[in-house]
Structure 1
């Protein structure tokens, strides 16, 4: 899979893309993430990517020209399954949507900043708008990282244990069950005996019961869906 990120602030992405699962996915050649700096598509000495909004008001708006020129170059080289714009106004990101996007071959993600992008970018270039929640961030870069991380772990071969991602919270419509590792006892808290029993049938039953109970306590809405 290839994901192209278009942003005016590429350094925000550098750290997370070079760590943990995202680093492993790229090292294995299973995921290619390419970051494109909007300032490379400007033509003034100040490399301006934003301007004041027409009609007045506070804040700055990202200009359309750099987005269109970057889009034109990228789409001349390959076809994209989706061109995604990260915005609080988009459809809410979910595990179901992560599963869907993980099956794509090529995605482009456009990151807004400040008050967002010129509306013509959304009208002409974007095929899908995605939100990671009902709140506002300074820009779309962190939201894009959330989406990419959720997608990457679903790509076959990225995780050492191929079943791990399939057992995550929300994959089964419920939250995940509790997890324990060594030591058996720590500060008076002991690992449940069933997990030490070696009885896989009982362990599976315990996990299902715990997942159901946790979901009922914390996210009853999932049980109603």
Structure 2
């Protein structure tokens, strides 16, 4: 798949592509990412990409024309059929929130053009004419769309075959269908007893001894406990989808009695 990123700060992406386990996806071009600076497509001696907003107000607004020229260059480079152009995605507070289902859908797609806004925003005329979808990380505002673009690319890259050392790792992630969309359970590692600030703390007994069925039930119960306490809507969604077993429901009833 291929993602073309329109950004005024392409240098922000370089460390991300070279660090961590997901770099495998970018180095192998399983996730082929190409960076485009709209300033390279601006006109005039100053290569201006922003101007004051009509009607007044603080800040500057990204101009439509440099973005349009940049997008046209991307379309030519991608050499796509006119009726099968990659969608243009704008990162914006009004967009649909990025979640696991969206990341999975993008990991099974041919990619997209990711538009990273800056300043007070982008000329609405360009959005109306060229943007197909808007995506948000949450109910807060960032200085630009680059962090959101990196979040989307990372969530997609780790789902690609061979990227994670253990093929089953992402299946145990929070929100994954393999966990019925619930939160993941807590994790423990060596030493078996940690001399913490409040004294020695041992690993839960259920995780010791190699009894796989007992371990699986313990982790499921912990997942249910966390989800019910922190994100009860996830439990409701799993129940509505028929993803809770009789054992799950029995355990949840014990939580209500506590």
TM bracket (short chain): over 0.9
Report runs of 4+ in structure 1 exceeding 3 Å deviation: none
* Structure-2 separation of matches of 1:106 and 1:215: 32
Q: Which residue of 2 aligns with 1:201?
A: 213
1:34: Cα distance to partner? 1.1
1:174: Cα distance to partner? 0.6
1:108-123 aligned within 5 A:
108-123=113-128
Q: Which residue of 1 aligns with 2:12?
A: 12
Q: Which residue of 2 aligns with 1:169?
A: 174
Q: 2:191 aligned to 175, 183, 187, which one?
A: 183
Query: Could you say what secondary structure the match of 2:55 adopts?
Result: coil
* Structure-1 separation of matches of 2:126 and 2:17: 26
1:220: Cα distance to partner? 1.2
1:183: Cα distance to partner? 1.5
1:53: Cα distance to partner? 0.5
1:106: Cα distance to partner? 2.2
1:22: Cα distance to partner? 3.1
In the TM superposition, what whole-angstrom CA distance separates every residue of 1:68-98 from its partner, at most 9, and x where no partner exists? Answer: 1111111123234321100001111111111
What RMSD, in angstroms, separates the aligned Cα atoms of the two structures? 1.3
Q: Higher RCO, 1 or 2 (CA under 8 Å, sep at least 6)?
A: 1
* Structure-2 separation of matches of 1:66 and 1:137: 22
Q: Check if 1:130 corresponds to 2:135.
A: yes
Query: Could you say what secondary structure the match of 2:13 adopts?
Result: helix
TM-score, normalization by structure 2: 0.83
* Structure-1 separation of matches of 2:143 and 2:34: 21
* Structure-2 separation of matches of 1:17 and 1:56: 39
Q: Give structure 2 stretches of 5+ with no counterpart.
A: 238-258
- Count of matched residue positions in the alignment of Structure 1 and Structure 2: 225
Query: Could you say what secondary structure the match of 1:108 adopts?
Result: strand
Larger Rg: 2
Q: Which residue of 2 aligns with 1:157?
A: 162
Q: Give structure 1 stretches of 5+ with no counterpart.
A: none
Deviates more, 1:51-60 or 1:78-87: 78-87
In the TM superposition, what whole-angstrom CA distance separates every residue of 1:39-77 from its partner, at most 9, and x where no partner exists? Answer: 111122222111101111111100111111111111123
TM-score, normalization by structure 1: 0.95
